[in-house]
Amino acid sequence: MYFTTEGLVLRETEYKDADKLLTVLTKDRGKLTLRARGVRSRSSRLKSGCQLLAYSEFTVFENKNSQLVDEAVPIMLFLPLRQDIEKLSLASYFAQVAEVLSQEDSPSPELLSLCLNALYALSELDRPQTLIKSAFELRVACLAGYTPMLDGCAVCGAAEPDRFHVMGGVLQCANCLLSDDPGVRLPIHTGTLSAMRYITGCDLKRLFSFQLGEQGMKELSDAAETYLLAQLERGFFTLDFYKSLKI
């Protein structure tokens, strides 16, 4: 039986002689493991559409034991990010996060759209990497069910508190410290808070269309990364690699 689906290659693993196993986030079928036969041979017609971070239209032959790629027509290859090791490693981090947060047989079109938007921004738009990374992290946390409460101080209700409580995902004022709460609180100035509110509430197409000064960007970067890792209770080797390039 054949079916056709559009999907983004999140991971590739070498398999047997010249095959690859692809982890693909599809538009309508959730996460799939597809086997691309002979794709590592020089003449394979599947090569382009089956590479890591390619967004392709896959025609898949399904039998009892496996799903085989019959055809893979590239839709977006994000070529500029393949020529830049920092961008490529950041994109690989996005892909690993998406793999962790997606499930088989459970379509997550918003997660796919977020990934495609982030890859497009990295590849084609002249936006700072830190801005793209932070916006992706905070927005993907929301998609995973960890939307932070950014309305006001969780203790006194003040509108513009200046601390972000990472584990709780809430705002607090510097003075509104609960005595029995040892959680990490990061400083958040007004501009940073506005950016966080924007990222969690804006139209996905406008996700990377905000400005922030140097200090605000640093605060946002710390808050978004720390928050995502804390909520997911894990790290990512792709993130470690990306950060090792920035030192």
Cβ proximity of 152 and 164 under 8 Å: no
Q: Which two tokens stand for residue 99?
A: 């793999």
Nearer to Zn ion, 116 or 196 (CB): 196
Nearer to Zn ion, 155 or 167 (CB): 155
**Beta strand segments in the chain, E:** 2-15, 19-26, 31-36, 55-62, 67-76, 149-153, 163-165, 170-172, 185-187
As measured in angstroms, the least distance from the Cβ of 163 to Zn ion is 9
Nearer to Zn ion, 154 or 228 (CB): 154
Nearer to Zn ion, 158 or 202 (CB): 158
As measured in angstroms, the least distance from the Cβ of 186 to Zn ion is 15
- Concatenated DSSP letters for 67-127? EEEEEEEEEE--HHHHT-HHHHHHHHHHHHHHHHH-BBTB--HHHHHHHHHHHHHHHHS--
Residues in the site for Zn ion, rule: CB under 5 A? 153, 155-156, 158, 173, 176
As measured in angstroms, the least distance from the Cβ of 158 to Zn ion is 5
As measured in angstroms, the least distance from the Cβ of 154 to Zn ion is 8
